[in-house]
Amino acid sequence: MSAAYLDTSVLLAIAFGEPQGRALRRAVDRFDHLLAGDLLVAEALSAALRERVPVSALRDCLQAVSIVLPDRSLEPEMREALGQGVLRGADLWHVACAAFVAGADRGTLAFLTRDGGQRRVARRLGFPTP
């Protein structure tokens, strides 16, 4: 089974029909299991309201993602990620959440994002970043 942690930037590009959306959809479809932190839901709903996109347009995309709810602070993963590069708060949380999920098996969980900083840090932490 192949799995990927999905950053909000990828989900929104697909859901909003952005120019790269089709290519990203094909990339996402290669994975059997999609994971994301609950932050993805907040960011997606906020973006839908801002862009005047009906929330119902996000329903299928959001239902395809298994939401990760860490049972502890992600501070250790955040500190590790920051040792690999500077990230904004939300980007840091996504990378840390993926690190929490993957544990020591980071090579088995792809990290999908359109953000260069996130991709760079995730790659340095051992995630495949197709």
Q: What percent of the chain is modeled with pLDDT above 70?
A: 99
Residue-wise pLDDT tens digits, 96-106: 999 999 999 99
pLDDT at 1 over 80: no
CATH 3.40.50.1010 corresponds to the domain 3-120? yes
Domain boundaries along the sequence of the chain = 3-120
Structure tokens given for 37: 């932190």
Residues found in the chain = 130
pTM for the structure as a whole: 0.93
- Mean pLDDT for 69-94 is 97
Q: Which amino acid type is present at position 91?
A: D
- The average confidence (pLDDT) of the chain is 94
Between CA 35 and CA 76, with CA 101 as vertex, the angle to 5 degrees is: 135
Residues 6+ apart with CB under 8 A from 55: 45, 48, 49
